[in-house]
Amino acid sequence: MSSRLRILSPLILIAVLIIAWWVAVAQSKTPYFPTPGQVVTGVVELARNGTLLQHVSASLMRVTVGYLAAVLIGIPLGVFMGWFSGVFYAVNPLVQLLRPISPIAWIPLAILWFGVGNLSPVFLIFLSSFFPLVVGTASGVHGVERQFIRAARNFGIKGPRLLGRVVVPAALPQIIVAMRLGLGIAWLVVVAAEMIAIDSGLGYLIIDSRNAGNRYDLVVAAMVLIGVIGLLLDSVMRRLNNLDEVRWRYAR
């Protein structure tokens, strides 16, 4: 597919959806659900009074802190679980026990432990992205082709050098997939957490707009912003696949 078509095709689809949205609201004559024009007006209003920057920066700050903490702890733990069978058999049952619990279910405990403030959503973001990172990294390390390891050992590469120079680079594609998945979940969770346990951020903006006179134009505006920012975050993560350290195992 040409680069021009790759750009035009999603734009055309988005334009069609916006037109369908506009027509549906006009035909229904609903006084509640906003038109695309009203949503744009709402975004402009938020930008002019400074609320937009305040809420977006608050959400991004919480995601950054919680997600980076999960990366710094989850990826090394996943590497050790994938490389050392003893660590895997010791830690994996606990990971699989806690992993199915929805991060939203932790909200009451997060508020109890950390109070109503930034620490509660940061903790929830950490939990939501930690388990995908651990499981994905362990799977990537465990799935490294044995011929890479045998070849490295034939050249005298052993111990930590083998892990750092061969195993982790070979597992990077799978690790990056886990990072993308973890970041996407973290962005979902911060919105949910801000609806309950905080008084700023895009999640709070949705609830506050709903309660402050049924401002559904601002509700939908916040939803659109959440989607756009999520797309941008995923686009940044996808660029990691172009690094030479990621692509070396696929070189011909």
Percent of the chain having pLDDT more than 70? 94
Structural tokens at position 178: 């886990």
143-160: per-residue pLDDT in tens?
A: 877 777 777 777 777 777
Structural tokens at position 80: 């050790």
24-74: per-residue pLDDT in tens?
A: 888 887 777 888 888 888 889 888 888 888 889 999 999 999 999 999 999
Superfamily of domain 42-250: MetI-like (1.10.3720.10)
Which residues are CB-contacts of 107 (< 8 A; sequence separation ≥ 6)? 120, 124, 192, 193, 196, 197
99-152: per-residue pLDDT in tens?
A: 998 888 888 888 888 887 788 889 999 999 999 999 999 998 888 777 777 777
Which residues are CB-contacts of 102 (< 8 A; sequence separation ≥ 6)? none
Separation of first and last alpha carbons in the chain: 22
Q: Is the pTM of this model over 0.95?
A: no
Q: Residue ranges of the domains in the chain?
A: 1-30, 42-250
154-209: per-residue pLDDT in tens?
A: 777 777 777 777 788 888 888 988 999 999 999 988 888 888 767 788 888 888 88
